[in-house]
Chain A
Amino acid sequence: MRSARFRFEIVEDLASADFIFDAYGQTLEDLFKACATACFTAMTEIEPVEPIKEYNLMVDGEDLNELLYNYIAELIYLKDTEKSFFSYFEIHIAEDKKSLSSVVRGEPIDYDKHVIKTDVKAVTYHDLNITERNGEYVTRMVLDL
C-alpha cells in the first residue's frame, strides 16, 4: 500500500505465522497511519470499508514505540468490541510525543460486502523501533494473527 505520504511493505521471507511489515511515513503521524492501514489490510481490503461511524481515541505512551503499540492495540480492541473495520485514521501526536488523539472512521464488518482475511489478535513489540532514515520515519511491526 502506497500514498504520497506513507507506505508499508509486507515482509515475506520469514517462516512465521505473523503479519510482518516495514512502515514508512513523512511525519510521525503518517507512520502511525501506515501502521493502522497495514493492520486493517491484514484483515480486509480496506477500500470498500466506508468511513460511516466515527470514534475519538486518546492514547498515552511512555515513549514513541509504546505510543504506537498502544494506538494499534486500541484499534484492535475497537475492532473486536465494535465488530467493525476502519479505513480512515486522523492522528495528532502531542508535542512531548507521549500522547495522541485520533479520529477513526469505519463501519460494521459485513461478510457480504467486505473481503474477510485473517483476524489480528495483537500487536507485538518485536522489532518495533521507530527511527528516522533518509528524511522519513521508519519501523518494522509484527502483528500476531
Chain B
Amino acid sequence: MQKKRINEYIWEIPPDQKPGMKVPARIVASEKLISGMDEGVYNQITNVACLPGIRQYAWCMPDGHWGYGFPIGGVAAFDMDEGVISPGGIGFDINCGVRLIRTSLAEDEVRPKLKELVDTLFRNIPAGVGKSGSVSLSRREFDNVITQGAGWCQKNGYAWEEDLNRIEQRGQIPGADSSAVSDKAVNRGVDQIGTLGSGNHYLEVQSVRFDEGCDAETSRLLGIEEPGQVTIMIHCGSRGFGHQIGTDYLQSFGSAMKRYGITTNDRELACAPISSPEGKQYFGAMACAANAAFANRQVITHHVRQSFEKVFGKPADRLGMNLVYDVAHNIAKIETYDIEGRPTKLLVHRKGATRAYGPGNPALSGIFHQLGQPVLVGGSMQAGSYLMVGTRMAEELTFGSTCHGAGRAMSRAAAKKRVRGSDLLHQMENEGIIVRTASFSGLAEEAGFAYKNVSDVVEAVHNLGISRKVARFHPMANIKG
C-alpha cells in the first residue's frame, strides 16, 4: 500500500489505495516507528476509512499495532446523522484506561518497605483469571454502579470528594442505559468490581523522573513535584462486564447491518447507524461498561490507599495520596470539532488512544482548563510511563486524541519463547523492580522487549504537538494479573 509523507510525523494513505475508502488514512509516527509498523495496521486503518459517515481522516497513533477491526491506536470520528458506532472501534475492554495517584513519599522512604508494600497490595487487590472483588453487590446495586460510575463510589465510601474532579467526565458517562445490558453481562461483571484482571493490566509503584524535555512546572501544578517522588499507576478496564457487552453487540450488529444495508471489509467492524435504535442501545450499554470501569479503578484506588495506610502507619490523606487523573483509552464519545469551518457534533471512537484536550477546552475545569488535560501513557513494565498534557493542536488535527502506551512490537507467543516468566522476575529484581504476578507465563508475555520503545512513541506525539511531555515514571514494583 502506498503512503505519502505529509510532514515529519504524519504519513497518509490516499483513498485510491483501497476501493471504498471515503477519507484518507493517516498514521502518526517518526521514520523509525513507521518502518517498524506492521502491515496489519495499514490494512485495518484503511478498512476504518471505508466506514459510513467517517469524517476527515481515519487516524492511527504511533503506538498502533494489529488489533481486530480497528487497529490498536485507531481514532475515527463519525457524523451523528450519517455515521456509525462500531464495537470494534472501542474494543471488548470498554473504558480500559489508566489512573495515576500521587504520594508525598520519596523513593528512599519506600524502598526499605517495598516488599511489604507489594505483598500487601497483591493481597488486597485481586489479580488474574477467575478472581472476585471484595465489593458484594446485589443486581439492583450493580445497576447503580453502572449508571453512576465513580459517583457511586463516592456515595459508598470508596472515593474522596475531590477524586471525581480528576477523572475524565467525572467518572460518569451520561446516557448509561442499564436496560441495554444483557443478564449475561451483569452475571459476568457483578462480582468483579475492584479486580485488576489479566493480560497487560497492572498496578505499578513508580518513581518520578524529569528527563530532558519534561515540563517540571506543569508537573508541579498537577501534583508531581520532585524527582524520586513515589506514584502509583493503575491500568485496567471494565472486566467481564464490558467484554460481554462487546461480545453481545458484535453479534447483534451482524443482523443490524443487513437491515441497514451496511457492508464492511471485516466482520469485526460490525456497526450500526448512531441514530438507529441499535446504535443508541449499544451507546447506552457502552456507557454502562465505561462507568463500571471508572468504578473498578476507583475501588482499586481505595484498596491502594488502605494498603499504604497499613504499611506506612499514616492516613492516606497525610500520605498525600491524591488522584492526579484517570483517562479512558477504549471508548466512543460525543464531542464537537470544526468541520469545514462549522462546529459539528461527532462520535469519536478511540481504541487504544487517549483524549488530549488542550488548554481552554470548555469541558475542562480548574487547573486542567489552564494546562490542558493530563494524558497518561503506560509503557511496558520495564520501561516506565509518562505524564503528558493535551494541546489545542490535538483538537485541530487528531480529534483531540493522542497515544495511549508503548504498543506491542511482538506477539505474546513470540515473547514467551524469548524468556521464561521466572527468569524475567529475577532479572527485573536485579534491575530494582519487584514483581508479583498471578501468572508467570503472562509475565513473560509482557516483557519490555515485546513492546515498542515508549520514549519513541512519546517523542512522536510531543514533536508533532498533539500532546506535551510533562514527567516520566520509573517502575519500582509491579503487580501483574
Contact = CB atoms under 8 A, between A and B. Distances in A.
Contacts, number: 134
Interface of B: 38, 40, 65-69, 72, 91-93, 128-130, 132, 184, 187-188, 192, 197-200, 240, 243-244, 246-247, 250-251, 254-255, 266-268, 270, 408-414, 417, 438-439, 441-442, 445, 481
Interface string A101-145: 000000001010001111101111110100000000000001011
Nearest to B72: A17
B130 A121 contact: no
Contacts of B270: 125
B254 A66 contact: yes
A119 B251 contact: no
A66 B139 CA distance: 30
A125 B267 contact: yes
Given A13-B414, A118-B439, A145-B199, A126 B65 contact: no
B246 A122 contact: yes
A69 B243 CA distance: 14
6 contacts: A12-B417, A16-B66, A19-B413, A79-B130, A111-B438, A118-B445
A111 B184 CA distance: 25
B404 to A, nearest CB: 12
B68 A15 contact: no
A63 to B, nearest CB: 10
B65 A123 contact: no
A116 B93 contact: no
Nearest to B267: A125
Nearest to A72: B247
A55 interface: no
> Max chain A CB contacts within 10 Å: which of B38, B129, B268?
B129
A66 B258 CA distance: 15
Contacts of B198: 118-119, 145
B68 A121 contact: no
A73 B249 CA distance: 12
A124 B66 CA distance: 14
Nearest to A79: B130
Contact of B68 (A11, A18, A115, A119): A18
A125 B250 contact: yes
Q: Is the interface of B mostly helix, strand, loop or mixed?
A: mixed
Given A116-B442, A144-B68, A15 B411 contact: yes
A26 interface: no
Interface string A78-108: 0111011000000000000000000000000
Nearest to A44: B129
Report whether over half of chain A's contact residues are helix, strand or loop; otherwise say mixed.
Answer: loop
A87 to B, nearest CB: 15
The CB with the most chain B CB atoms within 10 A, among A13, A118, A128, is that of A118
Contact of A117 (B267, B268, B441): B441
Given A77-B184, A109-B130, A122-B243, A12 B413 contact: yes
Given A12-B414, A19-B412, A144-B68, A70 B130 contact: no
Contact of B128 (A81, A84, A116): A116
Contact of A145 (B72, B184, B412): B412
**Most B CB within 10 A of own CB, among A14, A121, A125, A126:** A121
Given A15-B38, A17-B72, A62 B255 contact: yes
Contacts of B417: 12
Contacts of A64: none
Nearest to B442: A118
Contact of A109 (B66, B93, B129, B254): B129
Contact of B93 (A19, A79, A121): A121
A89 B266 CA distance: 29
B415 to A, nearest CB: 9
A123 B248 CA distance: 11
Given A10-B413, A116-B439, A122-B244, 15 more contacts: A12-B417, A14-B40, A16-B408, A18-B68, A80-B130, A81-B187, A117-B442, A118-B198, A119-B197, A121-B92, A121-B243, A122-B246, A124-B268, A144-B92, A145-B198
A20 to B, nearest CB: 7
A65 to B, nearest CB: 8
A92 B67 CA distance: 32
Closest CB pairs A-B (n = 3): A119-B198, A126-B68, A125-B267
A43 interface: yes
Contacts of B72: 17
Given A62-B254, A109-B129, A119 B481 contact: yes
A126 B69 contact: yes
Interface in A47-72: 62, 66, 69-70
Contacts of A11: 411, 413
A119 B199 contact: yes
